[in-house]
A and B are shown apart, each in its own frame.
Chain A
Amino acid sequence: MGVVTAQPERTRLVLARRIVPCLDVAHGRVVKGIRFVQLRDAGDPAEQAARYAADGADEIVVLDIAATPDDRSTSLATIGEIAERVFVPLTVGGGVRAVDDVIALLRAGADKVSINTAAVRRPALLAEASRVVGCQAVVAAIDAVRTPTGQRVVVDGGRTMTERSVVEWAVEAVEHGAGEILLTALDADGTRDGYDIELTRAIVDTVPVPVIASGGAGGPADFLAAFLDGGADAALAASIFHFGHCSIPELKTYLVANGVPIRPSEGRQ
């Protein structure tokens, strides 16, 4: 055996763009709010995650939205149940304040941990976490809100406005050790009017790490725009998958037909 051979045309490769269903979890149940208000119950986290994985989800994000406001840590038991049933990457966030939280979540079964408010308040947390678990496991989650003077970072689950520019914070977060940015446009979140393409593109063009676009997905065309126009490496959505507005296999078929590199659904190589 031996020589690395040239690849024929059919196998010219590019990294697949990721379809990422998100489970917003509170008190061990999946919920999805319209701008974090008016929560509706959409089921059991492990059941949902297993269903998405079977449908071809490329990664699953679990955000414990009750963790920050209630000052409670993310339910480690819920994460463990998902990790034992689902063999795609699992990113977990919500209420992560210390390196010990990161380690506990990874041990429970998370592959990546997203840090939001605590990183804005103390950016060194990203560096400390990255040093211990590697930057590939540290995601900076950034919630953005449009203001007259540009996109600003908001924290505490969207309730506290900061003076920070989103682009500047994204750059700083990566410098501190974040290996990925989970970018949520709160103005678009829950509207189903489409991702904030301009904001996504601004971050993608500025940081040297993968970017997950989040907030506003209403249908397949929004994912296409996030990948082609926004340049996103991954696109996250919650309610359209939960409530059946869009299925992952149909979405993947649509994206492949439109030239987006996608991991094929099972059985189609």
Chain B
Amino acid sequence: MTGAPRLVVVDYGAGNLRSLGGALDRIDANWRFAREPSDLDAADGIVLPGVGSAAPAMRVLRSRGLDRAIVGSHAPLLGICLGMQILCERLTEDEPVTGLGIVPGSVESLPDTVKRPHMGWNRVILTAPVRTEARGIERALEDWFYFAHSYAVRCSSRHVVATTSYGGMVPATITTGRAWGVQFHPEKSDRAGLALLAAFRDFCRGAKA
């Protein structure tokens, strides 16, 4: 079957999904919201947004069975900000939270030597050679992106594709191959962000073919 890859945006509660939807419209993506596990069945790509705290986010995902649907899907996955962090196994905010466990690693507070939240535009740098199968996404990462977070992923450098600098190196993009997590907000990162979303859409098209 040909045609544009079908993307879903997981809608599991609070936050600004309007900008993400607007950004996907701007790049002419074929997308809709996913609110039930079955909404993920036919997806060629999954976007997992996230704003706010990990505990309530994971509670909502679990109560709707979306957590298992996301982990069980074979479609490429893009987690954004908190949506990146909950790809990990463990998160520690006010309380310990178990994440989706897609990426081996944890999430911890940024050091108190820097202002928290890390809020604003920062330069993202690739930390590994560009891989042929993901070159669209990886090339789009070398740019300025908008960050707004107080916690950061800690995982093996094996899974880190790109970093940014804020009181040390902060993982800006992680991957396991199928799943990607970006700490920044592509939907808030002007043309650089739209280019990255377009690259993810194209990656989903490649994975679908």
Please give the residue numbers on chain A whose beta carbons come within 8 Å of chain B beta carbons, in ascending order: 1-5, 7, 11-18, 53, 58, 80, 83-85, 87-90, 103, 106-112, 131-137, 179-180, 208-210, 233-234, 263-264, 266, 269
Contact = CB atoms under 8 A, between A and B. Distances in A.
Contact of B16 (A16, A109, A209, A269): A109
B15 A84 contact: no
Interface stretch (B1-9, B62-70, B98-106, B185-193): B185-193
A5 B162 CA distance: 10
Contact of A15 (B53, B112, B122, B193): B122
Contacts, number: 147
Given A1-B158, A233-B120, A108 B188 contact: no
A136 B18 contact: no
Interface stretch (B30-38, B71-79, B124-132): B124-132
Interface in B105-158: 112, 115-123, 125, 127-129, 131, 143-144, 146, 148-150, 157-158
B120 A83 contact: no
Which of A1, A103, A266 is most buried by chain B, counting CB atoms within 10 A of its CB? A1
A210 B52 contact: no
B22 A13 contact: no
Contacts of B127: 3-5
Nearest to B156: A2
Contact of B125 (A7, A106, A210): A7
B14 interface: yes
Contacts of B25: 84
B18 A2 contact: no
B190 A103 contact: no
Nearest to B130: A1
Given A134-B51, A263-B144, A210 B120 contact: yes
Contacts of A109: 16, 18-19, 22
Contact of A111 (B16, B22, B129): B16
A197 to B, nearest CB: 19
Residue among B23, B52, B125 with the most chain A CB within 10 A?
A: B52
B190 A85 contact: no
Contact of B148 (A85, A89, A234): A89
A133 B121 contact: no
A4 B160 contact: yes
Contacts of A106: 14-16, 51
B189 A87 contact: yes
A66 B44 CA distance: 45
Contacts of A266: 190-191
5 contacts: A17-B120, A111-B148, A112-B148, A136-B51, A179-B117
Nearest to B167: A15
Contacts of A83: 16, 18-19, 22
Contact of A209 (B115, B165, B187): B115
B194 interface: yes
Contact of B123 (A13, A87, A208): A13
B169 interface: yes
6 closest A-B pairs by beta carbon, nearest first, are: A13-B165, A1-B128, A109-B18, A84-B22, A134-B52, A263-B121
